[in-house]
Each structure stands twice: as structure tokens, then as C-alpha cells.
Amino acid sequence: MQAFEVGFELAWKYLKNIVEENGTLVASPKSVFREAAKQGLLESPEVWFSFLTVRNNTVHAYIEELANEVYKFIKISFLDELDKVIGIEI
């Protein structure tokens, strides 16, 4: 769970840096994802919006059922999308 949280934070801040280096100031994760998609860095900002929702729900991970759902979601989709972000050349 913590690896997801850290990975998500690093990914959106990395994208923020790239977007801003390309001349667009952004502040929130949602604005970063929207602009990154406009710049062709992401295929779909909506996928990252769902990661943001999951990230915001991890504070409730003490609920076992929710923790299991978050883990499955991370395993299925987050790692693939994170690999794409890591592969972005600047």
C-alpha cells in the first residue's frame, strides 16, 4: 500500500515537472494529468483520476475489504501505467 502511495506521488510530481518544463503551470494532480494528456504524455487522464481516488481512499486501508480492493486495483492497472510514465523521455 505504501509503495503505491509513494509511486503515485512520485509519478504525478514527475509529470508536473515535465508539463511545467513544457511551459504550462499546473498545481493539482488532476490539472497535471489533464495537461499531460494534452501534451501526449498520458493516453488517458481518467485512468490517473481513478488512481487519485484510490490514493485518497488508502487512508481508510485499515478496513480489510477496502485494503484488498486497493491491492487488486494496484496490481492490475497501476503498475502498467506507472511503467509508461517511467518510460517518458524528457
Percent of the chain with pLDDT over 90: 54
> Is the pTM here over 0.85, yes or no?
no
pLDDT at res. 12: 96
Domain 2-86: CATH superfamily, name plus number? Nucleotidyltransferases  domain 2 (1.20.120.330)
Question: CB under 8 Å to 64, separation ≥6 — which residues?
Answer: none
Domain boundary assignment for the chain: 2-86
Question: pLDDT (tens digit, 9 = 90+) per residue, 57-67?
Answer: 877 666 777 77
